[in-house]
Amino acid sequence: MSLRGTRETRDNCQLFRLTGLLDAFSEPTFRKVLGGKIDEGPKHIILDLSQIDFVDSSGLGALVQLAKQAQTATGTLQIVTNARVTQTVKLVRLEKFLALQPTVDAALENIKSS
């Protein structure tokens, strides 16, 4: 199973709901597609990874790159996680850099307050 998802634009942000695997196989397409969407705008991105089954090191690298790209574009990257994704992010100590959120609503609130 590969990575699949949907895109929704709301007010001043883009919401991507993803399912499947964020791994070395899906990472190049993931980075290319989302990187292009950051450039198009809106600049605030919410990645709903709550239905993701697996994230490997290349997937984490893509998340870091996208967070940096969003910051450079004066936007933000909010990541809605599940227990598995959160554990993987904390394992490599990226939880301070990546804005992890428990729900899409929390991510939306975080964008509104920024």
Q: What is the DSSP string of 60-78?
A: HHHHHHHHHHHHHTT--EE
Q: How far apart are CA 15 and CA 107, in angstroms?
A: 10
3-state secondary structure of 49: strand
Q: Name the residue range of residue 60's domain.
A: 4-113
Please determine, for residue 7, whether its predicted confidence score (pLDDT) is greater than 70.
yes
**pTM of this structure:** 0.93
CATH number at residue 29: 3.30.750.24
- Per-residue pLDDT reduced to its tens digit, 9-62: 987 899 999 999 999 999 999 999 999 999 898 999 999 999 999 999 999 999
Q: Please count the structural domains in the chain.
A: 1
Q: How far apart are CA 68 and CA 27, in angstroms?
A: 16
